């Protein structure tokens, strides 16, 4: 298939009829007509060998995951996504069928989020990568990272650690073991927390998505807010059966939950309140001293470094 045919095939899979898409996939650029509040934009990339290995997940899961990972940054701003651009670098080994599966996963994720792909770019290269730009809207400045204050609570949405455990199982070539299946699914099919993100506007003082690990991403919030945080490892919301499965695999569940990213849940700060409690789990508090300190159930500092993933 040549480039024009590939784009036509991708368009057939990704086009969605929407009144606000004046020009969609296939022109020099996409044109959107929106009644605007503030535009919110983000870009994220998944690179083979860095963010994933092909042995770990099929092309459809890969596409789905890449899209949700990108949309997750808009969730962390409390924004409503309305469109996306897809830029693919494709090595020669990616067949037309592989590409279709990848694009189908992306299209399904775009439907989940309600933000269709309206354009993009195709290029050859030696290393498979999927770059997704997501654009949306928010009222005001959205929820930044710089608004946390001492005394506020630290909250985590959903459950964390499951995707890191699933990834560990895949890495140990035990992804097929039924005991790890729910956690492998957390890795394969994360969901950007778009709905809850928008409910956090007016509640959260700062937020980030947990893509690099709770301690690392909370660290970014603390750095931007010139504060620190204390979190209690025993309060972390983990999936059912998580501890037992981690032990079966010989992994430390506390480390997976503190340092593993990949679930794409949100960490946010807010004055402790019933509203915040209804949306997420209270796991700690903001302190005036810089740094993120992890405590055990008795309040004792945990040994070790849980800072998670740094890209460099």
195 binds its own copies (CB under 8 A): no
Q: Are 153 and 203 in contact (CB under 8 A)?
A: no
Taking the least distance from each CB to its own copies, the nearer of 208 and 233 is 208
Q: How far is the CB of 36 from its own copies (least distance, A)?
A: 4
Taking the least distance from each CB to its own copies, the nearer of 216 and 245 is 216
Among 25, 62, 103, 207, binds its own copies (CB under 8 A): 207
224 binds its own copies (CB under 8 A): yes
Taking the least distance from each CB to its own copies, the nearer of 120 and 175 is 120
201 binds its own copies (CB under 8 A): no
In the numeric block, the tokens 């933000």 are attached to 115
* Distances 51 to 22, 69, 167, 264, 288 between C-alpha atoms, Å: 34, 11, 11, 14, 34
Q: Which of residues 37-66 bind its own copies (CB under 8 A)?
A: 38-45, 47, 49-51
310 binds its own copies (CB under 8 A): yes
Contacts of 173 (CB under 8 A, 6+ apart): none
Taking the least distance from each CB to its own copies, the nearer of 233 and 262 is 262
Contact region for its own copies (CB under 8 A) — 82-90, 153-161, 230-238, 290-298? 82-90
Instruction: Give 99-104's long-range contacts (Cβ < 8 A, gap of 24+).
Output: 99/6, 99/9, 99/10, 99/59, 100/9, 100/13, 101/58, 101/59, 101/60, 101/63, 102/59, 102/60, 102/62, 102/63, 102/130, 103/9, 103/10, 103/13, 103/14, 103/63, 104/13, 104/60, 104/63
Among 14, 25, 30, 279, binds its own copies (CB under 8 A): 30
Q: How far is the CB of 253 from its own copies (least distance, A)?
A: 26
Taking the least distance from each CB to its own copies, the nearer of 51 and 251 is 51
22 binds its own copies (CB under 8 A): yes
Among 10, 14, 131, 186, binds its own copies (CB under 8 A): 131
Q: Are 232 and 297 in contact (CB under 8 A)?
A: yes
Taking the least distance from each CB to its own copies, the nearer of 165 and 217 is 217
17 binds its own copies (CB under 8 A): no
Contact region for its own copies (CB under 8 A) — 55-63, 70-78, 174-182, 227-235? 70-78
Instruction: Give 14-20's long-range contacts (Cβ < 8 A, gap of 24+).
Output: 14/86, 14/103, 14/106, 14/107, 14/110, 14/116, 14/117, 15/116, 16/110, 16/111, 16/116, 18/116, 20/82
Q: Which of residues 142-171 bind its own copies (CB under 8 A)?
A: 142, 144-146
Distance between CA atoms of residues 116 and 101, nearest Å: 17
Q: How far is the CB of 136 from its own copies (least distance, A)?
A: 8
Q: Which positions from 87 to 126 touch its own copies by CB under 8 A, shown as an x/- string?
A: x-xx---------------------------xxxxxxxxx
The DSSP 8-state label assigned to residue 298 in this structure reads T
């Amino acid at each position: 298939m040549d480039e024009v045919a590939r784009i036509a095939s991708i368009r057939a899979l990704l086009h969605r009829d929407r009144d606000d898409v004046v020009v969609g996939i296939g022109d020099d650029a996409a044109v959107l007509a929106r009644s605007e509040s503030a535009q919110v934009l983000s870009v994220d990339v998944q690179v083979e060998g860095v963010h994933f290995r092909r042995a770990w997940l099929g092309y459809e899961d890969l596409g789905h995951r890449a899209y949700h990972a990108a949309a997750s940054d808009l969730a962390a701003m409390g924004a409503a996504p309305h469109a996306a651009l897809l830029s693919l670098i494709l090595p020669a080994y990616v067949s037309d069928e592989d590409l279709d599966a990848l694009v189908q996963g992306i299209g399904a994720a775009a439907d989940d989020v309600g933000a269709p792909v309206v354009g993009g770019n195709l290029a050859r290269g030696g290393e498979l990568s999927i770059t997704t730009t997501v654009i949306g809207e928010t009222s005001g400045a959205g929820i930044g990272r710089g608004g946390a204050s001492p005394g506020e609570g630290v909250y985590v949405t959903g459950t964390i650690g499951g995707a890191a455990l699933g990834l560990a199982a895949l890495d140990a070539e035990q992804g097929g073991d039924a005991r790890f299946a729910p956690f492998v699914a957390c890795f394969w099919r994360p969901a950007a927390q778009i709905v809850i993100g928008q409910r956090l506007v007016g509640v959260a003082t700062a937020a980030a998505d947990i893509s690099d690990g709770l301690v690392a991403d909370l660290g970014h919030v603390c750095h931007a807010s010139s504060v620190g945080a204390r979190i209690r490892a025993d309060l972390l919301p983990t999936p059912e059966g998580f501890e037992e499965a981690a032990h079966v695999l010989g992994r430390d569940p506390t480390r997976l939950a503190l340092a593993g990213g990949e679930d794409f849940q949100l960490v946010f700060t807010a004055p402790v309140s019933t509203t915040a409690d209804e949306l997420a789990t209270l796991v700690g508090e903001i302190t005036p001293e810089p740094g993120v300190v992890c405590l055990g159930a008795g309040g004792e500092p945990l040994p070790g470094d849980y800072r998670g993933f740094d890209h460099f």
